[in-house]
Structure 1
Amino acid sequence: MNESTRKPRVAVVFGGRSDEHGISCVTAGSVLAAIDREKYDVVPVGITRDGRWVLEADEPAELAIRDNAFPSVDEDRAAVSLERIAGATDLVVTEPSSPPRTLGEVDVVFPLLHGPWGEDGTIQGMLELAGVRYVGAGVLASAVSMDKAYMKVVLAAAGLPVLPSFTVTERDWSRDQAGVRERAEALGFPLFVKPARGGSSYGISKVHDAGELDDAIAEAHRHDPKALVEAAALAGREVECGVLGSLHGGDPETSVPGEIRIGGGHEFYDLEAKYLPGQETELDIPADLPEDVVVQLRELAARAFEAVGGEGLARVDFFVMPDGSVVINELNTMPGFTPTSMYPELWKATGLPYPELVDRLLQLALNRGTGLR
Structure 2
Amino acid sequence: SARSVLDHIQGEDLLVSCYYIDCGMNAFAISPAQLYSNTPSDFDFKLESLAQEFSTLSEFAEHLAANVDIVFPVIHGKFGEDGGIQELLEKANVPFVGTPSNECLRAFDKHNASLELDAQGFLTVPNFLVEKDKLATSELEEWFRSINLNKENGKVIVKPTRAGSSIGVVVAYGANEAAEKAEGIFSEGIDNKVIIEVFLEGGCEFTAIVLDVGTANNSEPIVLLPTEVELQSSISSDIQEDTIFNYRRKYLPTQQVAYHTPPRFPAEVIDCIRKGVSLLFRHFGLRDFARIDGWFLPSPATSLPSSENGVKFGNTEYGAVLFTDINLISGMEQTSFLFQQASKVGFSHSRILRTIVQHACSRFPSLVTSNNAWTALSRKMQSAKQALIIPNGTCKQKAFVIFGGDTSERQVSLMSGTNVWLNLQGFDDLDVTPCLLAPSNGYSSHNEDFSESSRDVWTLPYSLVLRHTTEEVHAACFEAIEPERVEITSRLRNQVMKELERALSKQDWFAGFDITDEQPIKYSLQQWIDYVKEAKAVVFIAVHGGIGEDGTIQSLLESAGVPYTGPGPIASRTCMDKVATSLAVDHLASYGIHTIPKDVRAREELLKSSLVDIWNDLKAKLQTETVCVKPARDGCSTGVARLRCPEDLEVYANALRGTLPRLPANCLSKVPEIQFGNSLSQSNLMLSCTFTLIYIC
Query: Where on the TM-score scale, by shorter chain, does this alignment land: which range?
Result: 0.7 to 0.9
Q: Which residue of 2 aligns with 1:340?
A: 335
From 272, 287, 291, the counterpart of 1:296: 272
Q: Which residue of 1 aligns with 2:29?
A: 55
Q: Deviations over 1:341-372 (max 9, x none)?
A: 112211111222211111011112212249xx
Q: In 2, Cα distance between the equivalents of 1:78 and 1:127?
A: 19
The answer to whether 1:356 aligns with 2:351 is yes
Q: Which residue of 2 aligns with 1:35?
A: 9
Q: Which residue of 2 aligns with 1:183?
A: 143
Q: In 2, Cα distance between the equivalents of 1:214 and 1:166?
A: 11
From 77, 85, 98, the counterpart of 1:136: 98
Q: Which residue of 2 aligns with 1:368?
A: 363
Greater mean deviation of Cα atoms: 73-82 or 31-40: 73-82
Contact preservation (8 Å) 1:155, 1:307 = no
Structure 1 position 70, deviation (Å): 8.0
Q: In 2, Cα distance between the equivalents of 1:75 and 1:61?
A: 12
Q: Which residue of 2 aligns with 1:262?
A: 231
State the SS of the aligned residue for 2:179: helix
Structure 1 position 197, deviation (Å): 0.5
Contact preservation (8 Å) 2:127, 2:195 = yes
From 89, 114, 117, the counterpart of 1:155: 117
Structure 1 position 210, deviation (Å): 3.4
C-alpha spacing 1:282/1:196, structure 2 compared with 1 (3 Å): same
C-alpha spacing 1:369/1:293, structure 2 compared with 1 (3 Å): same
Contact preservation (8 Å) 1:237, 1:259 = yes
The answer to whether 1:277 aligns with 2:253 is yes
Contact preservation (8 Å) 2:26, 2:53 = yes
The answer to whether 1:229 aligns with 2:196 is yes
Structure 1 position 52, deviation (Å): 0.6
Relative CO higher for 1 or 2, CA cutoff 8 Å, sep ≥ 6?
Answer: 1
Q: Which residue of 2 aligns with 1:320?
A: 296
Structure 1 position 181, deviation (Å): 3.1
C-alpha spacing 1:196/1:214, structure 2 compared with 1 (3 Å): same
The answer to whether 1:197 aligns with 2:162 is yes
State percent identity of aligned pairs. 26
Q: Deviations over 1:261-281 (max 9, x none)?
A: 123525100111111123432
Question: Where in structure 2 are the equivalents of 1:96-135 lying within 5 Å?
Answer: 105-135=67-97
Q: Which residue of 2 aligns with 1:7?
A: none
State the SS of the aligned residue for 2:177: helix
Q: Residue type of the partner of 1:219?
A: G
State the SS of the aligned residue for 2:178: helix
C-alpha spacing 1:359/1:247, structure 2 compared with 1 (3 Å): farther
Contact preservation (8 Å) 2:156, 2:178 = no
Structure 1 position 36, deviation (Å): 3.2
Aligned length: 326
Contact preservation (8 Å) 1:121, 1:141 = yes
Q: In 1, Cα distance between the equivalents of 2:161 and 2:260?
A: 28
- Identify, as 1 or 2, the structure richer in helix: 2
Q: Residue type of the partner of 1:206?
A: V
Contact preservation (8 Å) 1:114, 1:334 = yes
C-alpha spacing 1:178/1:219, structure 2 compared with 1 (3 Å): same
Q: Which residue of 2 aligns with 1:210?
A: 175
State the SS of the aligned residue for 2:122: coil
Structure 1 position 153, deviation (Å): 1.7
CA RMSD in angstroms comes to: 2.5
Structure 1 position 283, deviation (Å): 1.2
Greater mean deviation of Cα atoms: 277-286 or 252-261: 277-286
Q: In 2, Cα distance between the equivalents of 1:84 and 1:61?
A: 23
Contact preservation (8 Å) 1:29, 1:59 = no
Q: Which residue of 2 aligns with 1:9?
A: none
State the SS of the aligned residue for 1:360: helix
Q: In 1, Cα distance between the equivalents of 2:19 and 2:257?
A: 32
Give 1 or 2 for the bigger CA radius of gyration: 2
State the SS of the aligned residue for 2:78: coil
State the SS of the aligned residue for 2:140: helix
Structure 1 position 185, deviation (Å): 4.5
Structure 1 position 118, deviation (Å): 1.8
Greater mean deviation of Cα atoms: 164-173 or 274-283: 274-283
Q: In 2, Cα distance between the equivalents of 1:210 and 1:313?
A: 38
Structure 1 position 162, deviation (Å): 1.4
Q: In 2, Cα distance between the equivalents of 1:50 and 1:310?
A: 28
Q: Residue type of the partner of 2:20?
A: G
C-alpha spacing 1:185/1:201, structure 2 compared with 1 (3 Å): farther
Structure 1 position 171, deviation (Å): 3.2
Q: In 2, Cα distance between the equivalents of 1:116 and 1:333?
A: 11
Q: In 2, Cα distance between the equivalents of 1:203 and 1:163?
A: 19
- Identify, as 1 or 2, the structure richer in strand: 1
Contact preservation (8 Å) 1:339, 1:345 = no
Q: In 2, Cα distance between the equivalents of 1:127 and 1:184?
A: 43
Q: Residue type of the partner of 2:266?
A: P
Structure 1 position 60, deviation (Å): 6.9
Q: Residue type of the partner of 1:132?
A: V
Structure 1 position 319, deviation (Å): 0.5
Q: In 2, Cα distance between the equivalents of 1:247 and 1:63?
A: 37
C-alpha spacing 1:146/1:258, structure 2 compared with 1 (3 Å): same
Contact preservation (8 Å) 2:178, 2:196 = no
Q: Deviations over 1:188-224 (max 9, x none)?
A: 2211111110111111111123342232111222311
Q: In 2, Cα distance between the equivalents of 1:286 and 1:181?
A: 39
